[in-house]
Amino acid sequence: MYPRFATRVPAAFFVLLLATQARAEKSAQVEAGPASLTLGELEQMALAKNPTLPLADAALRSAAGRALQAGFYPNPIMGYLGEELSLRAPSKTSEHLFFMEQAIVTAGKLKHSRSVSAQEQKETEADAEAQKHRVLNAVRMLYYEALGAQQMLELRTLLAEIARGADTTSQQLFNVGAADRPDVLEAQIELDQSEIELIEAENDLGRAWLMLAAVVGEPTLKRPQLQGDLEGKWPVFERDALLADLLQASPELKRAQAGVERARAMLQRAKAEPVPDILLRGGIGYNNEFSEFLGEVGPEAFIEVGFRVPLFDRNQGNIASAQAEIDRAGHEVRRLELELRTRMAMAYDQYSDAFALAERYQTKVLPRAQEAYELYLGRFREMGAAYPQVLIAQRTLFQVRADYVESLVDLWQNAVLIRGMLLAGGLEPALSAAPIRATEGAPGHPKE
């Protein structure tokens, strides 16, 4: 294709090309720097500093407090009662009484209220578990994205360094008449493309690190060298086993199932509400009134017993609402099961595609691109190929390597999602459990 260029290039040019590539590789190693972080260290940082985890913990403690409160018996009422207080003769007509009033909760209302709160607490526990998965999944997915961007930057840096050396050499050969103007332009175009791609790679790595630093809760942390190996042992999954594990252990499904139990407990609580609580009231005091038969009445006591008659309000509306809530919660469990199956199917297919692509690059495409580059390089040594052909083969090799890295990042990210119960969103707050809705007043306490 370039016969005149191929026959006129001196052997010293080949030596210069290899030296330039060696310097680029050494430069890439030096830029790594001593500071580094592993995936495990990033995970520990996120567990300690990601703000959504304390939010989930606070919601869990709040639910525990409500569960504790639901089990308390209503407090008694103590007071003073004065009757027939006469300003003209206070010591002759007045009655002074001290009393105590207590509501006796019936029909197991406190037990049902505790059951409602216990299921609410289970929902919140499932939320906290899901949030931990979300945070760790986000850290791992962004870690692999940043690790891939780091490797891409190393590739683009090496390619740009080689392109700079090739541009300088082409210009020198053109000055001595050993290369044509098109060869110089080809080297300059290659240099421009390499530098543009280097800028893009630097920006990609910066963006990925900023997102990762935010998720781990250290947004001002300087970018380190990430330690890891994208070409390590790839995880292998079996679709049916994955789906079975997901339907058994998914925190989202656990929360929905706890919602069904909470709705059932709320129905029992609503059915118990029409049964009236018993109000007991009693006291002792002193009566200053004078009786012509007994004289001064003196000490006396009283007791009252009463209850609210469920004549009009039998909690019909809340019972109907609780029955509808059971239906809604049951359908939500079914809907979520189907959604998880769909999400797993999509995630598994994406993982399988990424696995097949990475395997094809590793076993076939990359070795062939490497062989083509080495063959052109060998012919160039023997003056049988033009340098632009070497550049084309070299760019093809680097592009294949870049595509291979992208496929590996895609593979690992989908593996993280599959292992992590399909949960994502490391900075989104956990769902808060719905509070107990009592008809009037606190759960288990009598209506006033």
Cα separation of 331 and 322, whole Å?
14
Q: Work out the average pLDDT over 258-278.
A: 96
Predicted confidence at residue 431, as pLDDT, reads 77
User: Does any domain span residue 332?
Assistant: yes
Least confident window among 84-88, 166-170, 191-195, 310-314 = 84-88
User: Does any domain span residue 19?
Assistant: yes
Partnered with residue 104 across adjacent β-strands are: 278
Which run of H or of E encompasses 306?
A: strand 295-307
56, two tokens: 């989930």
Strand order of the β-sheet with 95-104 is: 77-83, 95-104, 278-291, 295-307
Q: Work out the average pLDDT over 332-360.
A: 96
Predicted confidence at residue 387, as pLDDT, reads 66
DSSP codes, 337-356: HHHHHHHHHHHHHHHHHHHH
Predicted confidence at residue 11, as pLDDT, reads 38
Contact 238, 407 (CB under 8 A): no
**Interior CA angle at 321 toward 108 and 251, to 5°?**
80
> Is the confidence at residue 93, as pLDDT, over 80?
no
Instruction: Kindly indicate the confidence band of residue 391, based on its pLDDT and cuts at 50, 70 and 90.
Output: confident
Predicted confidence at residue 244, as pLDDT, reads 95
User: Does any domain span residue 165?
Assistant: yes
Predicted confidence at residue 405, as pLDDT, reads 95
Predicted confidence at residue 18, as pLDDT, reads 45
User: Does any domain span residue 289?
Assistant: no
Give the tens place of pLDDT for each residue, 15-24. Answer: 344 444 555 4
Q: Which of 304, 29, 250 is nearest to 127 (CA)?
A: 250
Range of the domain at 165: 3-72+105-275+310-419
Q: Which of 193, 135, 124 is nearest to 160 (CA)?
A: 193
Q: Give me the chain's average pLDDT, please.
A: 85
Instruction: Kindly indicate the confidence band of residue 384, based on its pLDDT and cuts at 50, 70 and 90.
Output: low
Side-chain half-sphere CA neighbours of 201 within 13 A: 24
Give me the percent of the chain exceeding a pLDDT of 70: 84
Predicted confidence at residue 80, as pLDDT, reads 93
* Sequence-ordered strand ranges (E) for 236-294: 278-291
Neighbouring C-beta atoms of residue 384, cutoff 10 Å:
13
Predicted confidence at residue 172, as pLDDT, reads 82
DSSP codes, 137-167: HHHHHHHHHHHHHHHHHHHHHHHHHHHHHHH
**Helices 316-360 and 387-419, packing angle to 10 deg:** 150
User: Does any domain span residue 66?
Assistant: yes
User: Does any domain span residue 7?
Assistant: yes
Provide the number of structural domains found in the chain: 1
Predicted confidence at residue 166, as pLDDT, reads 78
As a 3-state breakdown, the chain gives helix, strand, coil percent values, each rounded to 5, of: 65, 10, 25
Predicted confidence at residue 191, as pLDDT, reads 87
Cα separation of 252 and 232, whole Å?
31
Predicted confidence at residue 10, as pLDDT, reads 38
Query: DSSP label at 320?
Result: H
* C-alpha distances out from residue 112 to 75, 108, 435, 438, Å: 19, 6, 15, 11
Predicted confidence at residue 34, as pLDDT, reads 31
Burial class of residue 382 in the structure, from the number of CB atoms within 10 Å of its CB (0-12 exposed, 13-18 middle, 19+ buried):
exposed
CATH number of the domain residue 64 falls in: 1.20.1600.10
Q: Which of 408, 415, 413, 412 is nearest to 155 (CA)?
A: 408
Question: Which is more confident, 296 or 431?
Answer: 431
User: Does any domain span residue 294?
Assistant: no
Instruction: Kindly indicate the confidence band of residue 82, based on its pLDDT and cuts at 50, 70 and 90.
Output: confident
Predicted confidence at residue 116, as pLDDT, reads 96
> Is the confidence at residue 323, as pLDDT, over 90?
yes
Predicted confidence at residue 430, as pLDDT, reads 84
Predicted confidence at residue 232, as pLDDT, reads 87
The phi, psi pair for 94, rounded to 5°, reads -75, 155
DSSP codes, 214-276: HHTT-TTPPP-EEP--TTSPPP---HHHHHHHHHHH-HHHHHHHHHHHHHHHHHHHHHHTTSP
Cα 46 vs. chain centroid, distance in angstroms?
Answer: 11
* C-alpha distances out from residue 238 to 275, 345, 415, Å: 55, 12, 12
Instruction: Note the pTM of the prediction, 2 decimals.
Output: 0.81
Give the tens place of pLDDT for each residue, 7-40. Answer: 333 333 333 444 445 554 444 444 433 379 999 9
Predicted confidence at residue 83, as pLDDT, reads 83
Side-chain half-sphere CA neighbours of 220 within 13 A: 0
User: Does any domain span residue 14?
Assistant: yes
Q: Work out the average pLDDT over 51-61.
A: 93
Instruction: Kindly indicate the confidence band of residue 243, based on its pLDDT and cuts at 50, 70 and 90.
Output: very high
Cα separation of 327 and 242, whole Å?
29
Predicted confidence at residue 432, as pLDDT, reads 58
Cα separation of 276 and 300, whole Å?
30
Question: Which is more confident, 67 or 391?
Answer: 67
Predicted confidence at residue 245, as pLDDT, reads 96
Q: Work out the average pLDDT over 206-222.
A: 95
Contact 430, 59 (CB under 8 A): yes
Question: Which is more confident, 400 or 95?
Answer: 400
The phi, psi pair for 297, rounded to 5°, reads -65, -50
Give the tens place of pLDDT for each residue, 403-439. Answer: 999 999 999 999 999 999 999 989 988 875 333 444 3
> Is the confidence at residue 71, as pLDDT, over 90?
no
Specify the pairing of strand 77-83 against strand 95-104. antiparallel
Partnered with residue 281 across adjacent β-strands are: 101, 304
**Interior CA angle at 402 toward 401 and 407, to 5°?**
95
Q: Work out the average pLDDT over 360-387.
A: 84
Q: Which of 146, 134, 133 is nearest to 213 (CA)?
A: 146
